[in-house]
Structure formats: structure tokens, C-alpha cells
Amino acid sequence: MGIVALSVLLTSCGDDAPDSATKRARKSSNVEPHALVLTATGDAPINSLNYTFDGKTVQDTSAVLPWEVSVDVPADDKRHEWELIVQHGSGNVQLVATLDGNFLTQSQGGGTGDGTVRVSGWVKG
């Protein structure tokens, strides 16, 4: 009787049971990415606009205000760094960052000459 019970126990713990990594992969594949939204508003002309996500920089050479981009942040429980830099002419510029509709941070600048406004941070995917 003890041998039969042991045999059943070994069978139920065999290779058919998914390991923890497989369970996590299945769970994370069903999770939607987060939405990081970077917004620039104001009345200044844009000389240069660059945003960086996880070390990859995108330059928008035709940016005008208002401007907005939505970046998918993988739901992978890892740290993801981002930055938005706007070089502008005379006028005002406001930058805002949100994640899934929740406010993260903001920055603003302006005046009668050229200027630079920057906002940056990191989010957990």
C-alpha cells in the first residue's frame, strides 16, 4: 500500500506540472502594457523635441504645440526610464507625464528668449 501511494505521489509531481517560470510567463503574457503619456503644451515654437524610453531616443523634427505621445510600458515588473526634452523659442512650454491616466510629474519654462524644458523619471512595468 505504501508503494502504491508513493507511486501516485511521484506521478502527480511529474513533468506535467508547469514550473514557476512557466506560470509567470503565462500570467504576464495576458497582462496589458501600461500607457506612459508625455504631453507638451504652450505657445512657444519648438526648436527641438526628443523623448527617450529605455535608452532609445526619438527626435520629432516636426513637433508643434500641443504635442503628445503614448509609449507602451511592458508589464514586466522592471524599471523603465524615460525623459522628454523640449528646446523652444520665446513663449511658454508645459510638460506633463502620466501613467495609465495618473499624474507622474510636470515641468514648465518660458520667457522672451530660447529655453529648454525637461521632465524625466522612471516607472515600474
CATH number at 81 reads 2.60.40
Burial class (CB in 10 A: 0-12, 13-18, 19+), 79: exposed
User: Residue 56 has what pLDDT?
Assistant: 98
**Residue 47 grid cell:** 526648436
Look at the chain and report how many structural domains it folds into: 1
Structural domain span for residue 72: 33-124
Any domain includes 17: no
Which has the closest alpha carbon to 38: 115, 121, 124, 125?
121
Any domain includes 107: yes
Low-confidence residues of the chain, pLDDT below 50?
1-18, 20-26, 28
pLDDT in tens, 19-40: 544 444 445 457 899 999 999 9
Any domain includes 118: yes
Helix, strand, or coil here: 3?
helix
Any domain includes 16: no
**Residue 115 grid cell:** 529655453
Any domain includes 58: yes
Any domain includes 27: no
Any domain includes 25: no
